[in-house]
Amino acid sequence: MDSPVSPVSPLTVPDLADATELSCDVLVIGGGTAGTMAALTAAERGANVLLLEKAHVRHSGALAMGMDGVNNAVVPGRAEPDDYVAEITRANDGLVDQSTVRQTATRGFGMVQRLESYGVKFEKDEHGEYAVRQVHRSGSYVLPMPEGKDVKKVLYRQLRRREMRERIRIENRVMPVRVLTHPEDGRAVGAAGFHTRTGEFVVVRAGAVILATGPCGRLGLPASGYLYGTYENPTNAGDGYAMAYHAGAALTGIECFQINPLIKDYNGPACAYVANPFGGYQVNRHGERFVESDYWSGQMMAEFAAELASDRAPVYLKLSHLPEETIGAVESILHTTERPTRGTFHEGRGHDYRTHDIEMHISEIGLCGGHSASGVRVDSHARTTVPRLYAAGDLASVPHNYMIGAFVFGDLAGEDASRYTAYEGELDRGQLAAAHELVYRPLRHPEGPPQPQVEYKLRRFVNDYVAPPKTGAKLSLAVEAFDRMSEEIAGMGARTAHELMRCAEVSFIRDCAEMAARASLARTESRWGLYHERLDHPERDDAGWLHHLDLRKSPSGAMEFTARPVEPYLVPVPEFAPPGGPERHLGEVELVPVATAGPRDTAPAARPRTDAPAPVEAPAVASPHPRLLRLLSLVEESPDLDALGPYLDDEDPAVRAAAVTALGETAPTGTGPVLAARLRDDAPLVRAAASAALRELVEVLPAEPELGAGLREALAVPDAAVRSAALEVLRALRLGDAGLYGGALADATVEVRVQAVRALVSVDAVAELTVAAADPSREVRVAVARGLAAVRDPAPEPLGPLLDDPDPLVRGAALAALAGTGCPAEYAARAEAALGDPAWQVRSGAATALRAALAEPAVPALAKALADANADVRKAAVLSLLAHRADPEARTALAGASGDPDADVRAYAARAAR
């Protein structure tokens, strides 16, 4: 099926009888986050799995460029599953099947550990505990991933393990267009599609089908006008939404759009999830925090949109107030993992986080269960309403499911689907013929309108009529436009298999656009803030609409709706009381009359815009080295060390570096010592690759003496980046001691000395840390202050010299550390005095220190700090007063802070009433 074909060779319509037929127990459609996990789990349980991916599994899906962190890690001891379920219920305005959200809450930590066993690296503190951060005001769920750019590579390595290859067949470049169902009982029995390079028609028989195709990210048109410049992965064109709908499955919440804050003129996230734990935050042009809502939700986006529409706009992600070392840490994440082009974008404008805050805006609309609530309806085992059809990931309607939820539901789907064996009966010829026609009709009229032009027009209508704020009239115009465009889409022309893929995607986008418009018409209320804001129905109506809105394809082929009551909550949420009762069958939605404007009997004609951006000619790319090509081919076979040996010793540094990277992808037995040896390579390119691979694999490498010896030798390498990596891996694998780490405190490079401090914390070497408190670098002294609070038996006395440090950032860090070590009377007095320091960082640290002091004199001092001119100082004071809320004076002070001009201060103060 992988025979090459020229990308410009004209295709002819193949005969349906010549289709390539495949068979499997479990068919997984989509090789991204959920799909790879579903395939692995099903195979581990004995099923023969076929994984179809329209691109290439190695670099497909939303994880292809990596992930900077987990948004919903419910780590024992740091968060409770029930608290998370309640939080998601609130964020989704009560419209939640809590049984599905609870699966993510209860199984997510196990999934984090499973991913870690594969080699995915999550941030940990010096003692190996997960470094969960608090971003939401109500819980600590954010777990950074410092090497998150490698997640997909790690998953692909698991798929290509020898024992998995016996069970999992991967067919890249195969795009399904329809799920096949049994004509009598409607169960899923396979799929039909085509090869996106050769154009051959492909039919699959399966015992069960798992849809894992991602969201519909290519629905609205970005402000830039570029078809593929979307916030979400642009290859996610709603394939699974359309396939599920045409297979008869129920979809739900389709009126609840995904809208995100992003960088102005750059379709990538502003990444507040990354920046907030470092001290960044969202502000208007006056520098005022304005977000009142507690969770990343439609209500937050409504507040965002209102601020953008006011005279307080523009809106920014504020980083310029942070110290150099913090900005550098933020840059190291944002410019590599989340969007590698981000740094280039800012550089092109002459902007720097030290001098320019990041202007933010709002993304185009999309459909996504993982970030809002729209998707294929599933139960707590990822089953859809069609027997033996499953959905997982952003495609499934599990609100705010994010990456960990996608993995969890991929696992659930794979486990449940593995019970079934391949279907051996007859496939419905009518379904096959319809799928065949959908794929190949553009070849019958190659001179028809090109796909980019038609898609641009379709998505322009989405922006014009479907994007919030919504009205019945605009949504009705949208439905009419999408109906008209069905014929235009059917008339698109194509000559190549790649063009056929794009044409099929346009049909999926049109289906999703119609679903979004009709569902938005059917829900006659406003809910989820900006996600479903109806100007003609501005109020939320819990009595009538605290119901899921399910969408199905009726026997006549029309979209029909049902209002389904919310299941009784597993975790009570006082703000919402689901009314229960029977389902309400709503049938087809009624359009608002829009043929005339008022009493006039003719409508003005408008010529639809059909121009598309001119294509950009790709620059010429030099041919790769022949040995590199052979190496890349070899990697697909999961080579052992002997096979990679010649490439690791190649005279060309580029080949050696590629071999080291390949070693990191395959990780055969003996990988650790080999990588450690490459830390001493003559070529910087090779050393950098070895450092990256060791950091990536640190969770799966055995802590063997040979590896430890190699890392110790690397501490003498002149390359500071190598020494830093060696210390980090030695610490993580517990292969060093206080003597070794203490010696690194004499290193000439600050980054290495900071790693030495972290390593000393991991072995609770307080005496050596006290020596490091005299380091000439502020960054090291700040690390020492924080480290002294992180040792297993912290005490306040070693912080004494740092409390008198000449640098305000060090003094602030030392004071804040007292909240972890304890703050006895002597230090409490110093903290109280420090509330008058000229530097706000010191005052903030002092307020934090008083959290661990006795209520007297802490509470009176903190009450005074609520009048501080700096919002971060007031926020620290409120958080410390919450720790003293048993004191009546503290409660009085918190009540007064509920009227603070800063949104964060108000929100935290309000927690005292809970």
pLDDT of residue 6: 45
Percent of the chain with pLDDT strictly greater than 70: 92
Q: Which of 54, 30, 28 is nearest to 41 (CA)?
A: 28
261: pLDDT strictly greater than 70: yes
The Cα-based distances of 469 to 230, 257, 293, 465 in angstroms read: 20, 11, 19, 9
pLDDT of residue 416: 98
Q: What phi, psi does 291 have (nearest 5°)?
A: -80, 115
Q: Which amino acid is at 812?
A: G
856: pLDDT strictly greater than 60: yes
Structure tokens at 359: 């202007």
Neighbours of 591 (CB within 10 A): 17
Query: Radius of gyration of the chain from Cα atoms?
Result: 29
- Going by the DSSP 8-state scheme, the letter that residue 607 receives in this structure is P
pLDDT tier at 154, thresholds 50, 70, 90: confident
pLDDT digits (tens, 9 = 90+) for 71-82: 778 888 888 899
d(CA 491, CA 560): 27
Q: Is the peptide bond before 619 cis (omega within 30 degrees of 0)?
A: no
Concatenating the DSSP letter of every residue in 142-176 gives BEE-TTGGGHHHHHHHHHTSHHHHTTEEEEETEEE
pLDDT of residue 5: 47
298 or 718, which is more confident: 718
57: pLDDT strictly greater than 60: yes
Through-space distance between the first and last CA atoms of the chain, rounded to whole angstroms: 61
Point out the least confidently predicted range of 144-148, 506-510, 846-850.
144-148
Q: Which of 287, 264, 280 is nearest to 330 (CA)?
A: 280
Arithmetic mean of pLDDT, 499-520:
98
Q: What phi, psi does 64 have (nearest 5°)?
A: -55, -40
Arithmetic mean of pLDDT, 626-630:
78
Percent of the chain with pLDDT strictly greater than 90: 68
Q: Residue 77, exposed/middle/buried by CB under 10 A (0-12, 13-18, 19+)?
A: exposed
pLDDT digits (tens, 9 = 90+) for 555-608: 999 999 999 999 999 999 999 999 988 999 999 998 988 876 755 444 444 545
Structure tokens at 118: 């594969």
Instruction: Give the global pTM.
Output: 0.83
645 by DSSP, 3-state: which? helix
pLDDT of residue 147: 65
611: pLDDT strictly greater than 80: no
The answer to whether 509 and 459 have CB atoms below 8 angstroms apart is yes
Neighbours of 106 (CB within 10 A): 15
Q: In the chain, helix, strand, coil percent, each to 5?
A: 45, 10, 40
pLDDT digits (tens, 9 = 90+) for 793-814: 999 999 999 999 999 999 999 9
Arithmetic mean of pLDDT, 166-179:
97
Q: Which of 304, 301, 182, 176 is nearest to 242 (CA)?
A: 176
pLDDT of residue 602: 46
310: pLDDT strictly greater than 80: yes
Q: Give CB contacts under 8 A, 24+ apart, made by 129-134.
A: 130/73, 130/75, 130/78, 132/73, 132/75, 132/78, 132/79, 133/276, 133/277, 134/277
Q: Residue 352, exposed/middle/buried by CB under 10 A (0-12, 13-18, 19+)?
A: middle
Burial of 594-613, coded b for 16+ CB within 10 Å and e otherwise, reads beeeeeeeeeeeeeeeeebe
pLDDT of residue 781: 95
d(CA 727, CA 691): 11
Q: Which of 222, 385, 238, 372 is nearest to 301 (CA)?
A: 372
Instruction: Note the maximum CA span of the chain.
Output: 89
704: pLDDT strictly greater than 50: yes
d(CA 647, CA 656): 6
Burial of 166-193, coded b for 16+ CB within 10 Å and e otherwise, reads ebbebbbbbbbbbbbbbeeebbbbbbbb
